[in-house]
Structures are given as structure tokens and as C-alpha cells.
Amino acid sequence: MSARRDMIDLHAHLLPGIDDGPPDLAAALALADAAVRDGTRVVAATPHIDFIYGVAPAGLPARMAELREALASEGIPLELVQGGELAPHRTLDLSEAELEAIALGGSRCVLLECPFMRAADLMTRLVAYLQAKGFRVLLAHPERSPVFLEDPAALRTLVERGAYAQLTAGSLGGVFGGAVRRASRSFLERGLIHVVASDAHVARGPRSPAVRALVSGALAEWRQDGALADWLCAEAPRALLTDAELPPPPPWRGGRRGFRVWR
């Protein structure tokens, strides 16, 4: 990855005291500072939108404003944009206005969580439902979901139908095990991944906002150049935030022909 390229993180649990992310403002500021030090300049705050934490989309603007004020007061140069990690079981429960309230950066792109259980054709139906309402869908961490680990063709089908996919940086570093890391490479090679994000929950450790070293290290090991990292961590995320068409990705060096289905 270019040493000077500012990164855009579309998946981070940054709002304090709202889900399993930072428990208080001090921890949230530490997480934000760690992200900036790693080279991130824009972060979408994406709390869990599910029935476990009961986050109300209508209450998010006030929480965002509080954190923005604290970031400015501490001199942390991080641009915070709206978002939410939408759980599959909550999707049909939200109104269109609530979906707009958690769309990334006020765009028409919704971050939809991939389930950690077998879910048959659930994701196919939910993606179609959101698309019918005029939303783009960014699938969160498909490399960690049994749905796609056991059936990679299912992810390929969703991408071919217009969905986008977000890989977690920690997956590239083996944080979630060897099988997830191998799936991450396979999905990347086949053009099924459009974004790499942190899915950060804490300032330090395996769930930190450190993205640059994990992405650059893995791609270098797999003999890819920095242009692909820039596309995954800056160019494609920017396009999704602005409802623009994604620029073509750099080709996977040494990849098999016929697998580039990036959309």
C-alpha cells in the first residue's frame, strides 16, 4: 500500500457504550487515535443494528455529534461518517428511513452482516430485498461466515447480482484462523472482494483499527503490489461512500483467468 495513501475504513465499532465496541469515550478516542496513526482518515461508525444491543437508528446522529465534538477537542483528525452493521434478523424490521439512517456516509450503501451460522438462501433474499428498495449492499466479513466458507459459489452469485463484499483486515493476518485466511485469499483472487476494513472494536490487539500492515503484508506475501491495497482500502470505499461507480481493480497477479467478477 502506498505510504501516503489515506485509508477509508467502512466498518468500525467506534461509538462508545453502544455495543461491544469501546465502553466509554476515552476508549473510543484511543481507538480513533490508533486509526489515524495507522493512516486512516475516514471511518464509518457501524454499531451493531440487531436485537441484542437494541440500537435505535434514530438515536445515532446525537451519538455521532458527541464523538465528533470530542475528536475535535482532542485534535484527532479523523472524519467520522454514519453507518451501522445491519444484522440479517433485523433487516425486515427497519423502515426505509431507518435504513437510510444507517447507510454508509449518507450514501445508498448498507453494510449487511453475514451470519455466523448456516442460513440457506437467507442472504440471497435479504440482498434482493434491500436492492429492491434502492440500496447497494456491502456484505460484512463473508470470509468468516459458514454460508460462504462452505459454499464460495454463493458469494460469487451475490456479487454477480450486484452485491459488494468487505473483508476484515484481521482475516488476512490469521486472527480468525487458517481456514478464514485461505478463504480470504481465494475470494480476493476471484475478484469477490471490494473493500478491506478493520471491524475494529478496541485500540490495540487483534480487533484494532490497524489495517495497513495486515493488508500490505498479506498482499506482499501473495506477490501482489500496492495498487490493489490502495483500491481495497481507499478507491473502492470512496466510490461506495459517494454512490459512484467503482473504478476497475488492479488485476490479481498470477490469478486464474475467468474469475474476475468484481462487478
Query: What does the pLDDT read at residue 117?
Result: 87
Report pLDDT for 260: 52
Q: What is the pLDDT of residue 118?
A: 82
Q: What angle do CA 157, 161, 166 make, to 5 degrees?
A: 75
pLDDT at 259 over 90: no
Structural domains of the chain, with CATH? 7-241 (3.20.20.140)
3-class DSSP assignment, residue 21: coil
Average pLDDT of 105-118?
Answer: 95
Average pLDDT score over residue span 46-65 = 97
User: What is the distance between the alpha carbons of residues 126 and 199, in angstroms, rounded to a whole number?
Assistant: 21
What would the grid cell of residue 183 be? Answer: 478463504
Residue entry with cell 441484542: 52
The stretch 219-232 carries a mean pLDDT of 95
Residues sharing a CB contact under 8 Å with residue 75, sequence separation 6 or more, in sequence order: none
- Residue 145 binned pLDDT confidence (cut-offs 50, 70, 90): very high
The residue with greater pLDDT, 258 or 27, is 27
Q: State mean pLDDT over 42-63.
A: 97
Residue 124: which H helix or E strand, with range? helix 122-132
Q: Alpha-carbon distance 195 to 50, whole Å?
A: 23
- Per-residue pLDDT, 258: 39
Dihedral sign of CA atoms 76, 79, 81, 87 in order: negative
93-103: average pLDDT: 97
Could you report the per-residue pLDDT of 64-97, keeping only the tens digit for each?
999 999 999 999 999 999 999 999 999 999 999 9
pLDDT(225) > 90: no
Mean pLDDT of 145-168: 96
State the pLDDT at residue 262. Answer: 53
